[in-house]
Amino acid sequence: MIKHLTTPALRRLVLAGAGLLATIACAGAQTSMKMVLDWNFEGHHSPYALAADTGIFARNGLAVTIDRGYGSGDSATKVASGAYDVGIADLGAVIALNAKQGGIKLISIYQIYDVAPLSIMTLTENGIKSPADLAGKKLAAPPGDSSRVMFPVFARANNINPNTIEWIDVTPPLRSAMLLQKRADAITAQFSEVISFRTLGVKDTDLVVLKYSDLGVKLYGHAIITTPRYAASHNMELNQFLRSVVEAWTATIKDPQTSIAVIKKRDALIDEKVEIERLDLMLRETIGTETIVKNGFSPVDQGRLKFTVDVVTQSFALPPIDPKELYHPEFLPPANERVYPTKK
């Protein structure tokens, strides 16, 4: 179990030590870290690329390698295995993995999304207007997609028999095509996928988006995760990592064009206008909610966290886990450094 910093004096000492460590590291060797995203580089992933490619991590004594992911289930498994030091995954997928393993194999250290952006999407012409209409339908999604992983929770909340759903395994690029080609009745995806459909010429009025958060499943969403073992021996590094993340998010919110231009260098096929639009959507709906704007980055209410844990474990018929062992805020910079910024 990770030892919490329980006194203000001890916390100040650790933070002072972290700052000293960063200064020393910047002058000499930097600590290497490996990070895996939950998906490919998109607008809302740009702060991490910005931190890596413009020296934010380096100024804090870190050399961070960032790889794309293939869904929350996949990234959670990779971090749990030790293949990556930190990663991004839907908190529900992390809870499910921990409960299935019978112990805390992963911990959350930074709550990115105040609301999980989980959804089911379909075309208006398919006649699916409510969760009940999904019964007997074909849904296409990558196996690791967070909305698919969490579908049993959605099904339980909306009285859907999950055994009536036929799942079609697809790679991420084929998901939208399967729906448009009538080979699937619906897909699971983060609701920012509506931006991708617009690029394909699909009007918003021709899409039906069933948001989990509007239909009984308003859970905490994606978080930055690591393992208890890594955290126990890398307190300072994780503190500097999260300080860098906050700095990068602040810079991105103030100047999204610069942040998106960084991921364009990583993937020349990225449409900067599309990804700025995607980032703006995610800021409005999940990252820059009223709660986060008021309280700063990574505010976690223990009541909501317990609700998220209980809903997930009960929906998967899994043993309960202790929310206090799941979320570890001691690696965060102090509240006065986590203020949500105003745009230029």
Residue 311 has what pLDDT? 92
Distance CA 162, CA 2 (A): 37
Using the 3D structure, point to which of 198, 214, 230 is the last residue of a domain. Answer: 214
In a domain, 265, yes or no: yes
In a domain, 344, yes or no: no
Residue 2 has what pLDDT? 52
Using the 3D structure, point to which of 180, 199, 214 is the last residue of a domain. Answer: 214
Q: Do 73 and 86 fall into the same domain?
A: yes
- Give the DSSP H/E element, type plus range, for residue 153: helix 151-157
Task: Show the domain range for 270.
Answer: 8-115+220-337
Q: Do 136 and 156 fall into the same domain?
A: yes
Q: Which two tokens stand for residue 146?
A: 């967070």
CB of 119 closer than 8 Å to CB of 146: no
- In order of 61, 63, 74, 218, the CA distances from 83 in angstroms are 21, 16, 11, 31
- Give me the CATH number covering residue 203: 3.40.190.10
Residue 105, Cβ density class (10 Å: 0-12 exposed, 13-18 middle, ≥19 buried) = buried
Residue 25 has what pLDDT? 45
In a domain, 342, yes or no: no
In a domain, 1, yes or no: no
Cross-strand partners of 225: 87, 108
Cross-strand partners of 59: none
CB of 103 closer than 8 Å to CB of 232: no
Q: Measured at the alpha carbon of residue 112, what is the angle toward residues 154 and 339, in degrees to the nearest 5?
A: 140
Distance CA 64, CA 51 (A): 9
Q: Do 58 and 147 fall into the same domain?
A: no
Q: Do 129 and 74 fall into the same domain?
A: no
Q: Do 171 and 109 fall into the same domain?
A: no
Q: Do 250 and 285 fall into the same domain?
A: yes
Global pTM value: 0.85
Using the 3D structure, point to which of 214, 237, 255 is the last residue of a domain. Answer: 214
Distance CA 107, CA 85 (A): 12
To which residue do tokens 């049993």 refer? 152
Q: Do 224 and 333 fall into the same domain?
A: yes
Q: How many domains does the chain have?
A: 2
Question: Within 10 Å of residue 54's Cβ, how many Cβ atoms?
Answer: 15
Average pLDDT across each block of 10 residues of the chain; the chain has 344 residues. List them in order: 46 46 55 96 96 98 96 94 97 95 95 96 97 97 91 95 95 90 96 91 96 94 97 98 98 96 94 94 94 96 95 93 95 97 77
Q: Do 83 and 145 fall into the same domain?
A: no
Q: Do 111 and 232 fall into the same domain?
A: yes
What is the distance of C-alpha 54 from the center of its chain?
22
In a domain, 122, yes or no: yes
Q: Do 90 and 103 fall into the same domain?
A: yes
- Give the DSSP H/E element, type plus range, for residue 177: helix 172-180
In a domain, 229, yes or no: yes
CB of 278 closer than 8 Å to CB of 192: yes
Residue 342 has what pLDDT? 83
Distance CA 333, CA 241 (A): 10
Residues 6+ apart with CB under 8 A from 317: none
Q: Do 226 and 316 fall into the same domain?
A: yes
Residue 344 has what pLDDT? 60
- Would you give the DSSP letter of residue 7? S
Question: Within 10 Å of residue 292's Cβ, how many Cβ atoms?
Answer: 21
Q: What are phi and psi of 95, to 5 degrees?
A: -60, -45
Q: Do 79 and 210 fall into the same domain?
A: no
In a domain, 183, yes or no: yes
CA-nearest of 122, 87, 123 to 106 is 87
In a domain, 343, yes or no: no
CA-nearest of 252, 202, 263 to 37 is 263
